[in-house]
Structure 1
Amino acid sequence: MTTHEDTVTLIRRMQECFNTRQFDQAADLHVPGFFSHPLGVPGFAAGKAAWHLLVTRYPEIRVVAQDILVDGDRAAVRSTVEGVTPPDGGATPELFEIFRIDGGRFAEMWGASTGFPAAATPEELLHG
């Protein structure tokens, strides 16, 4: 069973991998059948490709967890996004993600974002 502390550490490690562009290391944090609901595909390869798209579009992008709530095998994370200029001086962009953890690794992810420039949200970049 994954503890609350293990889950928080896992989330922070994933964000560290993203922020330091160590995408290959992040693959080990996901189960082989990991499923990204926003991307609609299994496996971390699509997530890795999505990360590459985001850092290409926003070279200075960094995510910083502000809230991590853990309940059993689920974790909800609200993260601020640095390195992305919000449109018209709006609010700092944020990511909202829910993860299901299995055996100390990410098994599923759901997510949404707010505060990104129009036509440049993570969802639009990934599905556009």
Structure 2
Amino acid sequence: MSSDQKADALVRRLQECFNTRRFDDAAPLHAPDFFSHPLGAGFPAGKDAWLALTTRYPAMRVVAQDVILDGDKAAVRSVVEGIDGARPELYEIFRFEDGRFAEMWGASTGFPWSGSPRELLDQDADH
């Protein structure tokens, strides 16, 4: 399997963990020092964001539409299904190191007001 195929499989495995709500299964896919730039933290904060999102939107699923690979990075455009009245999109860039996620940058569009992962985490911290 080529490095591009491995990276593509890793991205799709991450989405499978999210869509099946097996968040703990995603932990080994991330390097110990993984860093999410949008959240300003590591994997535990990402897991908390996933929990907050799926609590608010129980039918939510993420489906990759485009995965573009370049060296040790992948750009991923995904649609979010299962949110009534909305069809958000996620735009993420992942950097890989030793076959695992090392860094992530991302943005989203189309989430209902106060429905983005960062906003949900900020709301939980305020309560």
TM-score by length of 1: 0.90
SS of 1:28's equivalent in the other structure is helix
Unaligned runs of 5+ in 1: none
CA RMSD of aligned residues (A): 1.2
> 2:38, 2:61 → 1: CA distance?
19
> 1:59, 1:10 → 2: CA distance?
24
> 2:115, 2:24 → 1: CA distance?
25
Q: Give, as a single letter, the amino acid of the residue that structure 2 aligns with 1:35.
A: F
Contact 2:60 2:80 in 1 (8 A): yes
TM-score by length of 2: 0.91
> 1:53, 1:3 → 2: CA distance?
33
- Seq. identity, %: 64
Deviation for aligned residue 1:45: 1.0
Q: Give, as a single letter, the amino acid of the residue that structure 1 aligns with 2:57.
A: Y
Deviation for aligned residue 1:44: 1.1
> 2:85, 2:116 → 1: CA distance?
11
Aligned length: 122
Deviation for aligned residue 1:125: 1.4
Name the residue aligned to 2:14. 14
Q: What does 1:1-128 correspond to in 2, within 5 Å?
A: 3-41=3-41, 43-86=42-85, 92-128=87-123
